[in-house]
Amino acid sequence: MNTLTIELPSIYCPIAVRENPLEETLRHHGMEWLRRFGFCDRREDAARLDQTDAHAWLPRMVPSDTSVDVLQLLVDWTYLAYVMDDQFDRSATTLSDAVDLGFDALNALESPPSSLVADESPLGAAWCDLARRGRACSTAAVFHRWAQEHRGWLLGVARETSCISRGGTLSLDEWVRVRPLAGGAWVTMAAIELATGEVPGHEIQSDPVRALVAAAALTGEVDNDLFSYGRDIWLSQNLERGKRFAVENVVDILARRSQCAPSQAIAEAVALRDASMSCYLQLRDRVTPSASPPLQRYITAVGKVVARNLNAGLTMERYTNPDGLHPGAVKIESSISQEPPADALAPLTMPALAWWLDSLPARTLQQAS
């Protein structure tokens, strides 16, 4: 079988991440945790989950002094998010399916600790375990924010599932609103606060901070679509022809919107994510000097989410081995640039994103125009 090669333009990201020395230990305990709830009973399921490298995601993004208990919680949560993602892809063909899958998570995270009982379903039991551990290692405010973002995640999945079940499509403006929710970017940003320490409410809820988090979230989700573009093509060509495995990729949306070839749509997608990356960096530089220490730690970790996602996505087997049985079936070619594009903020004028610019200095906007 021929290798499908996806060529991407150079991608802007001047942020570096380092490995966490505890990653292999976290991986071992994380996979054992999954087995405890029956998520690795099939060999192919265990292999697919192990290929996600969940043990190396959040541990590389959060502060180096994060406790082992919090690191393991974040790793186990990331593994379970991939379990949910796989189940959404496999079985959530209707809106009611998506709601049913999401209910156990919300029930566990939002119920008082005294009301949590042993759940008969593996997903329900796993979410109850995470909820107990999450409450034990965070403040009430941090846990509440994390729990609430799961609502956004599952609402986004429900919106995408509804669109797929109706055979519909999303506009670009709709996609940039929905995808950071459905793709788990916002809930991941909330999980970071479990490690950085509680950020004062007036800071984390301020418009500039919300804007920088939104910019980082969109950057990561565009990257995910760029990395999964080849996987989507491969699956549609080799498994069930014509079947839609997910909501439309942003590359397809841009190609339809601009009536252009996929190569041009890929370039437009990279320009969009570079603009989001640039906006995050400029907002970070504006907010950080006057931020509290917890907010400074949080903002730094948010940037590392983008960097780690980018570095991993270029080679992750989840994208290069689409069905888990064909290693190297997809190849992604790209490079990472340290230099911002000349007109970095230009793509951010669409209605769904324009509010980010309200928090930037006027001179920055004049330079970008």
Q: Which domains does the chain have, with CATH numbers?
A: 4-368 (1.10.600.10)
Check whether 366 has a pLDDT greater than 50.
no
Name the nearest CA neighbour of 256 among 334, 180, 162, 174: 174
Q: What is the pLDDT confidence band of residue 198, given thresholds at 50, 70 and 90? A: very high
3-state helix, strand, coil in the chain (%, to 5): 70, 5, 30
Angle formed by the axes of helices 262-287 and 207-238, nearest 10°? 160
Place of tokens 């109850």: 128
pLDDT in tens, 338-354: 998 877 787 788 889 98
Query: What pTM was estimated for this model as a whole?
Result: 0.91
- pLDDT, position 124: 86
Checking if the pLDDT of 235 tops 60, the result is yes
A 10 A CB-CB count for 131 gives 21
pLDDT of 192 higher than 50: yes
**Residue bearing tokens 């573009």:** 229
In whole angstroms, give the CA distance from residue 251 to residue 238: 20
Output the six-digit token pair for 44: 């192919």
Q: Which helix (H) or strand (E) holds 168?
A: none
The lowest-confidence range among 91-100, 121-130, 153-162, 349-358 is 91-100
Give the separation between CA 161 and CA 93, rounded to whole angstroms.
7
Least confident of 109-113, 312-316, 320-324: 109-113
As a whole number, mean pLDDT of residues 25-29 equals: 97
Position 95 scores a pLDDT of: 61
Q: Which residues of 100-130 are buried (b: 16+ CB within 10 A; e: fewer)?
A: ebbebbbbbbeeeeeebeebeebbbbbbbbb
∠ CA 87-215-110, rounded to 5°: 45
* Lowest-pLDDT choice from 49-58, 280-289, 316-325: 316-325
